[in-house]
Amino acid sequence: MAKQIQAIRGMNDILPDQTGRWQAIEQVIRQLVARYGYSEIRMPIVEHTELFKRSIGEVTDIVEKEMYTFDDRNGESLTLRPEGTASCVRAGNQHGLLYNQQQRLWYMGPMFRYERPQKGRYRQFHQVGVETFGIASPDIDAELIIMTARLWRDLGIAEHLTLELNSLASNEARANYRDALTAYLREHMDQLDEDSVRRLETNPLRILDSKNPAMADMLSQAPKLSDYWDQESREHFESVCARLDAAGVAYTLNERLVRGLDYYNRTVFEWVTDSLGAQGTVCAGGRYDGLVGQLGGKDTPAVGFAMGLERLVLMLEAADTLRVPKPVDVFIVVGGAQAELPAQAVAEKLRDAFPTLRVHQHCGGGKFGNQLKRADRSGADIAILLGESEVADNTYTVKFLRGQGEQTTLDWNGLQALISGLELK
């Protein structure tokens, strides 16, 4: 036998027994963004490498070591998108969606990062991203966070998630803070790990994000960014907090929350859970007022977030709070060759009469008993048995597969009435 080819490490098939849950989550998300008046945008999966270098930043984990970058046949450097914000801004600029306008956009799709695969961390994963443009005031920051809080309630997992909040303030405030932090870290050079020594010159704020327990004590004594906040950023942040208070959304201030991408300023936030081990961040975002300009557009305030669907799926699997629809409601069992045409006809008649009914007509022949076993395994509520006598009498024998009652034989009207009365899940 020929050798089978396997999928690429860290790139998963989502199999039929899982897609029901994915669809259910996606459905809740689509409804959510619609309820807030957001429009969908769809971008390509591949972009010029330059786009990500210029937006995410040259000295970030993503650009330094996580991108899938390759040369196109004409020698151009292309990259599989590691996130959606850069592409969304690129598309917005390119099509004039951002110029002197307000936009509320969302997208969903695969992202690619060359990371070490583990639970909740993959090389192809899926994000839902939400981005807003043209609104500088804190009401929109709050709206995005309030919207995510509603999503956790809709999904039934609110109790497993906590909100961490910080402000990265203005570029100037951050630059001042950066000097103070660098000076402090230099004094504690002996305690820095290899990664942090490298970052000291290039991206010292990222050192605050380090998960290395050996540096935890030293970092907790470091200068605090909030001591360097500019007045306007402070007021902006306080207003975001006040709006969250008013909406009943709880949060904790995390002074070391800096995010791994360079484009953020002011509000940054993460929704974290302790139920996924080290991969605890389910949703993360913030304000990025400089990015549109940096990518060649007119300066436009912006704020957004992205959430990882695999991590959400893992949480929902554990919490089991989301109803996942089964694929089949009604299974038609075909009793012999003479029932085959009538079976196909009744299947179509049922689909006409009940447009949302999921009808599985058995195909491929085979023993009655085997078909009934399949009917049971399909998860259907009822089986409709069509044998010689049913075909002759124009009747339908219904077998209840979930213990709802005795087998019964009905005419078409009776069958319709019975199906109308089923509580299909």
- Binding residues are 83-85, 113, 127, 131, 259, 263-264
Annotated binding site for L-histidine: 83-85, 113, 127, 131, 259, 263-264
64 binds ligand ATP (CB under 6 A): no
| DSSP-derived 3-state class of residue 359 | strand
Is the separation of the CB atoms in 41 and 71 below 8 Å?
A: no
DSSP string, 202-269: H-GGGGGG---GGGHHHHHTSPPGGGG--HHHHHHHHHHHHHHHHHT---EE-TT---SSTT-EEEEE
Nearer to ligand ATP, 119 or 377 (CB): 119
47 binds ligand ATP (CB under 6 A): no
81 binds ligand ATP (CB under 6 A): no
Q: How far is the CB of 279 from ligand ATP (least distance, A)?
A: 6
| DSSP-derived 3-state class of residue 407 | coil
Nearer to ligand ATP, 164 or 329 (CB): 164
Count CB neighbours of 302 within 10 A.
29
Q: How far is the CB of 164 from ligand ATP (least distance, A)?
A: 12
Mark residues 90-129: x for contact with ligand ATP by CB under 6 A, - for none: -----------------------x-x----xxx--x-x--
83 binds ligand ATP (CB under 6 A): yes
Q: Whole-angstrom Cα distance, residue 205 to residue 211?
A: 13
Q: Whole-angstrom Cα distance, residue 179 to residue 81?
A: 33
Count CB neighbours of 217 within 10 A.
10
Residues contacting ligand ATP: total by CB under 6 A: 19
- Look at residues 51, 45, 52, 84 and name the one whose alpha carbon lies nearest to residue 66: 52
Q: What sign does the dihedral 268-269-274-278 (CA atoms) show? A: negative
| Residue numbers 283-312 binding ligand ATP by CB under 6 A | 283-284, 306-308, 310-311
Mark residues 122-161: x for contact with ligand ATP by CB under 6 A, - for none: x--x-x----------------------------------
Binding region for ligand ATP (CB under 6 A): 83, 113, 115, 120-122, 125, 127, 260, 279, 281-284, 306-308, 310-311
